[in-house]
Amino acid sequence: MFKICSEVRSTQTQDGSILLDVHHGQMFCLNLVGSKILELLQCGYDEIRIAEEISRAYGVDGDVASRDVREFLDALYRHHILQPIRSHGSI
């Protein structure tokens, strides 16, 4: 499970979202689907539930949605947008 890093600022646009990593000085533009994934993550949805919601909302095959959500979350993590949520003293 992930959460958005505290150094990241975001704003909604008509096309999705814009993220600014103030610590690393990088800006990212998310389309509507990417923005929805981030919104669901902020609501506490886990990866499986996010993929289910994306599959339902956008008419995407469940396996494709699962794979795409995983790749998207991995990319956000690699770019320091997300950090793991620690539970019970572990990562």
What's the rounded mean pLDDT across residues 38-63? Answer: 96
What pLDDT score was predicted for residue 21?
93
For the stretch 51-79, pLDDT in tens is: 999 999 999 999 999 999 999 999 999 99
Q: Name the nearest CA neighbour of 34 among 51, 17, 46, 22.
A: 17
Q: Name the nearest CA neighbour of 38 among 22, 20, 58, 16.
A: 16
Which residue ranges form the domains of the chain, and what is each CATH number?
A: 2-81 (1.10.10)
What pLDDT score was predicted for residue 88?
58
For the stretch 12-37, pLDDT in tens is: 999 999 999 999 899 999 999 999 99
What pLDDT score was predicted for residue 85?
82
